[in-house]
Amino acid sequence: MPVDLAVVPVAGRGTRMLPITKSQPKEMLAVGTKPVVQYVAEELEQSGVRRMVLVTGPGKTAIENHFDIDAGLIAALRENGQESLLNKLAFERMQLEYIYMRQRRQLGLGHAILCARPVVVEQPFVVALGDSIIGVHAESKIVAQMTELFEQQEADGVIAFERVPRSEVVHYGIADVGAERDNYFELADLVEKPGVDEAPSDLAVAARYVFKAELFDYLEKTGAGKGNEIQLTDAISMWIRDGGRVLGVQLDASEPRFDIGNFPSYFRAFFEFAACDPEHGEEFRSFARSYLDEAEG
Ligand code: UTP
């Protein structure tokens, strides 16, 4: 049976994005014309996901509201002769079923995933971080490729990776690469936020995963790690040491990961999405050009 269930954790506090995130979920921040989590949902739908478990927490109701069908708004647009705007709400009709679970205490990403266990039970599932977009326009099929590889290889897990500058390994889970194949590699280990000198590679975990449900057993056994949080990376590392077979695939350079969890990366993402926007991109590029010319001149 194809993997059609995804867990999308969106319960984090987003402290690196304060003050924006004080009363607004970082997953609802605008990147170009849409909130981050809408890109994530659209990407998952086109990769064959049909059920999305959003793990939410305090202050995150804006996410639930965003995916609801807003009959009142639709009626108002019709009454006011604004039918042309209805296509902006087309995402409400995606072939997705939404399930909301609550992470009652923010104990880290690993813990957030564990909160979805009662829904996932025994089936394999995708994990997609709710604060990360893959590729401009989010047309990536990386999750479909990963689920295919997962099934074909009968792996325990498949993880997407992206090359990062050596100085940035300190922010991510980093791959210790084992045997390399044509379009994937075996993961010998995974190290959470290593020092620049200790990092086994420059391949950073890129916010998309596929797992067998056995992952939950390892998350249960994982104690608090870096930052006093239950780290997904630690659970995967324990699983690999126990004989789990986890594979890595590398994101294509044309499909970078946009991490909306820190300001420098958020600014870059907004700029690139605004510049590539089919409706407003040209005007924005011309503004950006003259702004930079003036600033430099
Ligand atoms: P981050 O690792 O960026 O953590 O989350 P964070 O807590 O949101 O942000 P900072 O570190 O305080 O700035 C990656 C993804 O995992 C979710 C987040 O919502 C985000 O989509 N997450 C993180 C949870 O759902 N629960 C948590 O306890 C932590």
> pLDDT tens for residues 89-127?
999 999 999 999 999 999 999 999 999 999 999 999 999
| DSSP state string for 14-30 | -GGGTTGGGSS-GGG-E
Q: What is the mean pLDDT of the chain?
A: 94
Q: How far apart are CA 137 and CA 269, in angstroms?
A: 11
Strands 173-180 and 185-192: antiparallel
- Does residue 296 register a pLDDT over 90? no
Count of CB atoms situated within 10 Å of the CB of 55: 26
pLDDT given for residue 29 in this prediction: 97
Q: How far apart are CA 245 and CA 25, in angstroms?
A: 35
Give tens-digit pLDDT for 21-43: 999 999 999 999 999 999 999 99
CB of 55 closer than 6 angstroms to any ligand 1 atom = yes
Q: Which structural domain range is residue 209 located in?
A: 5-296
Using CA positions, which residue lies closest to atom 8 of ligand 1?
Answer: 12
Structure tokens at 230: 């239950």
- Does residue 137 register a pLDDT over 80? no
Distance 269 CA to ligand 1 centre (A): 18
Polymer length in residues for the chain:
297
Give tens-digit pLDDT for 125-135: 999 999 999 99
**Percent of the chain topping pLDDT 70:** 99
Note the pTM of the prediction, 2 decimals.
0.96
Q: How far apart are CA 187 and CA 89, in angstroms?
A: 41
pLDDT category of residue 63 using cuts at 50, 70 and 90: very high
CB of 11 closer than 6 angstroms to any ligand 1 atom = yes
Whichever domain contains 153, its CATH number is: 3.90.550.10
Report in angstroms the alpha-carbon separations of 49 from 8, 107, 123.
12, 27, 13
- Does residue 227 register a pLDDT over 90? no
Count of CB atoms situated within 10 Å of the CB of 144: 18
Atom of ligand 1 nearest to the CA of 261: 3
Distance 57 CA to ligand 1 centre (A): 11
pLDDT given for residue 2 in this prediction: 83
Overall average pLDDT of the 169-196 stretch: 94
Overall average pLDDT of the 150-155 stretch: 96
- Does residue 185 register a pLDDT over 80? yes
Q: How far apart are CA 277 and CA 28, in angstroms?
A: 18
CB of 286 closer than 6 angstroms to any ligand 1 atom = no
Distance 54 CA to ligand 1 centre (A): 13
pLDDT category of residue 274 using cuts at 50, 70 and 90: very high
CB of 130 closer than 6 angstroms to any ligand 1 atom = yes
pLDDT given for residue 229 in this prediction: 87
Number of domains, the chain: 1
Tell the burial category of 140 from Cβ atoms under 10 Å away from its Cβ (0-12, 13-18, 19+).
buried
- Does residue 226 register a pLDDT over 80? no
pLDDT category of residue 276 using cuts at 50, 70 and 90: very high
Report in angstroms the alpha-carbon separations of 8 from 13, 65, 87, 119, 289.
15, 16, 25, 13, 37
Give tens-digit pLDDT for 231-253: 999 999 999 999 999 999 999 98
Overall average pLDDT of the 57-61 stretch: 94
Atom of ligand 1 nearest to the CA of 108: 28
